Structure 1
């Protein structure tokens, strides 16, 4: 289930109901002993009698450690469900969009096809950032493309060229270390002023400002960029 990007007030009623009714709450962590950001978001509705278990999902490029983590998580959750436990797996943002929960769902469907599953959606960081900044995401015949930030300048330039020709708004996720050169590309194209930079959306230290006001350098993993290159002809 998705718990949104950070602000507990953005959890849906369905998510709150599922948390309160759960016997066991599974929380993703990137390394052993680390705090779960998803659990921190949902903490307001977690109860002392509930079992809380961390599930390790290493942030590595190698395929096998990730597959092993998804399989182990699916096996753990299915075993608990088989005993009659009401189980929820918390996911930041939306459970179906670039989410750990999607991989676990696929593993459950493959390894435990009889295990009942329900996906509860959550508000994405992209939607939350646009709303907080009063920034319309898509209008009329606009297209909206959400994707991880490209790894190279030429890939970003190509994406911007295609977007300009298709009235396509770009939402680039996981800027992190790429922001240094991404900013340079936007500056050359005179897109800094019209682009929205967002960082740690929904958290107390949230950043929302025009990209031109954000200096170059390494930014946190949870940072994103909204880029609009044109507006529809018919506007108020």
Structure 2
């Protein structure tokens, strides 16, 4: 039976912890995240290629000590299912082996551990292949929350709904989302904007939404940008870019 550390006594003895380190700014790590990293004997983190420097490890680097063993978990950036499944299985095996050897292990995850996160696949692989391995999850600041804060932008108020999803691949899908959001008072948070911005921007312009949408990329990194969508040119954007779209406000306002 797969177990997770839910109560306080279990937290202090859990040997494997999945830690959300936020989108980029080290100052956004929680106290719980820092304490878990400092208590670990093994610090694991995902990399796209062997020997690479993981983004999560870069964010948390000031708290990683030289005497801690660093364990790179290889997750190839491919679309095929089998290589990804093999990588998740291999990561779960490595982590379970370290725990069985008496190590205290943290796995660093960019953003939050439960939201479009690599750590979610690790968690499910552990559940399937190592069900007796106790796991603790520490949430992290999401890119959506960080973008809203950086832009002084209320995400949702009163009875408003917030829909958070990857940017659709087809313009027709986004048109439906925008229409539905306008009628229901729903705020949209569109992740992984990337190359789609080239056709998303004209759509927002046609609907007069550029002034009420917030663009953000690489939050917490040196090249961070947080801008009103109208100020962002119609060129492809990085993978780690997002858009917040508000089409109205509640009736009762300050």
Q: Does 1:138 align with 2:156?
A: yes
Which residue in the other structure is 1:188 paired with? 206
- Give the deviation of 1:132 after TM superposition: 1.1
Give the 4+ runs in structure 1 shifted more than 4 A: none
Gap runs ≥5 in structure 2? 1-18
In the alignment, which of 168, 177, 181 is matched to residue 195 of structure 2? Answer: 177
Give ranges in structure 1 of 5+ residues lacking alignment: none
For residues 191-211 of structure 1, the C-alpha deviation after alignment (integer angstroms, 9 at most, x for no partner) is: 111100000011121100001
For residues 202-229 of structure 1, give each alpha carbon's deviation from its aligned partner in whole angstroms, at most 9, with x where no partner exists: 1121100001100011111100000000
Alignment length (residue pairs)? 236
The residue aligned with 1:50 is 68
- Measure the CA separation in 1 of the matches of 2:90 and 2:100: 15
Q: Which residue of 1 aligns with 2:174?
A: 156
Q: 2:239 aligns with which of 202, 209, 221?
A: 221
CA distance in 1, matches of 2:26, 2:165: 25
Q: CA RMSD in A?
A: 0.7
Distance across 1 between alignment mates of 2:49 and 2:94: 17
Structure-2 separation of matches of 1:20 and 1:126: 27
1:66, 1:212 → 2: CA distance?
Answer: 38
TM-score in terms of structure 1 length: 0.98
Question: TM-score, structure 2 length as denominator?
Answer: 0.92
